[in-house]
């Protein structure tokens, strides 16, 4: 069960003028739940994205990169769950493009204006004929208020859908932001992560939008990890429809900072939701690292803790075997780390004082914190002013079971 996370209230998700969503069951996934999602964008909408750095990038990722690199408009996104279309060679690329062709025929746009996305089992041929036959049902269900349904349709091993909204005012114009994400396993940050789609009705310049998607990814999806494995299909797409009627936002404007902040709030909520719904998760863990020489150093230590199987299994067991935290810090590869300046807290309990066990620390206090469903680990490296935060979850028996039975 997810840690303090419930499905979003569909009625609370804000419609984004210029965005319509539809979903239907194509039979690609094992269960009869919608597994095909279509998003139609208005003319003039602008789109930017970041993708996995996994060298075995899936066919749809390759097609998306080609489309966005061409610099033309994007009129639609099509997403299937249950099949990753990865490791499928030339046939996989042809299947991804066929799905774009099918969308283009139905919506009356060019196939080079369609972005395809897939998630699910790797190395299996994409049943593109199922997508082609089901797309008309997606088109018939297109509606601005379908964010909740769409978020459910892109799920694989997720236990709950992930979506949220924010609104703000810029120069007297009401601006809306809504996003959805899927992902609970094979997750480690590297440029972007999982499948995430965020849209706003603000008018944003193309250069500013691409900068914004990278900056937002860095403070949200690049700060979440479940198991340290970066997927072949990771994609984060940001859409700005321009329907709010505001003056175009450029990267140097105060309005840029306001909009980026709102979009980042949505992204952080989605990123944390992913960790809360991590495969088999029973605990949500926040790792805060401060006192680093630079942010990269802080991130390295935080990820070292968050991705350590020994640390994560100790959290699952509620076992204050906190030497594992020291192991992870020391394993992060920080040159010249003076352990006599390192301090460590588990929740409100000081564990390490100047590199050694704190005089006030007791096993009972450590066990008390470890039993909580939400735990914060705070590390002060004592060597600078940089800091960061990473979110993760524990490793339970169910993580192994879910992944051992993923294809069955």
Q: Provide the annotated active-site residues.
A: 193
Burial of 222 (0-12, 13-18, 19+ CB in 10 A): buried
The H or E element containing residue 288 is strand 284-292
Q: Which residue has the tokens 């952080």?
A: 268
Q: What count of other Cβ atoms lies within 10 Å of the Cβ of residue 89? A: 9
Burial class (CB in 10 A: 0-12, 13-18, 19+), 370: buried
DSSP states along 4-59 = S-----GGGSPP-TTEEEEEE--S-SSSSS--EEEEEE-TT-EEEEEE---TT--H
Nearest CA to 16 among 248, 141, 255, 178?
A: 178
Please list, in sequence order, all residues whose beta carbon lies within 8 angstroms of the beta carbon of residue 69, skipping any fewer than 6 positions away.
none
d(CA 179, CA 195) in angstroms, rounded, equals 11
Cα–Cα distance for residue pair 62/68, rounded to 1 Å: 10
- Would strands 173-182 and 162-170 be described as parallel, antiparallel, or unpaired? antiparallel
């Amino acid at each position: 069960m997810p840690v303090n996370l419930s499905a979003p209230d569909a009625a609370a998700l804000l419609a984004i003028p210029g965005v319509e969503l539809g979903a239907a069951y194509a039979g690609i996934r094992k269960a009869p739940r919608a597994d095909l999602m279509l998003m139609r964008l208005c003319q003039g909408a602008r789109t930017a994205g970041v993708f996995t750095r996994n060298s075995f990038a899936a066919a749809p990722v390759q097609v998306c990169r080609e489309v966005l690199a061409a610099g033309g408009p994007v009129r639609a996104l099509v997403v299937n769950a249950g099949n990753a279309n990865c490791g499928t060679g030339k046939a996989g690329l042809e299947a991804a493009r066929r799905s774009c062709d099918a969308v283009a025929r139905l919506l009356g746009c060019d196939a080079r204006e369609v972005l395809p996305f897939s998630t699910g089992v790797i190395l299996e041929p994409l049943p593109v004929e199922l997508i082609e036959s089901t797309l008309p049902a997606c088109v018939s269900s297109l509606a601005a208020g379908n964010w909740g349904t769409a978020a459910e349709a892109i799920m694989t091993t997720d236990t709950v859908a992930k979506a949220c909204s924010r609104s703000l005012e810029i120069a007297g114009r009401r601006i809306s932001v809504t996003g959805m994400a899927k992902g609970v396993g094979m997750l480690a940050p590297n440029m972007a992560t999982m499948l995430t789609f965020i849209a706003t009705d603000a008018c944003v310049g193309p250069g500013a939008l691409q900068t914004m998607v990278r900056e937002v990814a860095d403070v949200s999806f690049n700060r979440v990890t479940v198991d340290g494995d970066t997927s072949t299909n990771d994609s984060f797409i940001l859409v700005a429809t321009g329907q709010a009627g505001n003056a175009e936002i450029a990267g140097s404007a105060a309005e840029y900072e306001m909009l980026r902040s709102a979009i980042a709030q949505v992204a952080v909520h989605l990123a944390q939701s992913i960790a809360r719904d991590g495969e088999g998760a029973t605990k949500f863990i926040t790792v805060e690292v401060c006192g680093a020489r630079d942010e990269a150093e802080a991130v390295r230590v935080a990820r070292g803790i968050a991705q350590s199987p020994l640390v994560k299994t100790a959290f699952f067991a509620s076992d204050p075997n906190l030497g594992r935290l020291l192991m992870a810090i020391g394993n992060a590869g920080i040159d010249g780390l003076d352990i006599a300046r390192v301090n460590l807290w588990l929740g409100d309990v000081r564990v390490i004082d100047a590199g050694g066990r704190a005089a006030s620390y007791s096993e009972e206090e450590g066990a008390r914190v470890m039993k909580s469903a939400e735990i914060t680990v705070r590390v002060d490296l004592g060597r600078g002013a940089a800091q960061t935060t990473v979110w993760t979850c524990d490793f339970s028996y169910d993580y192994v079971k879910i992944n051992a039975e993923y294809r069955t």
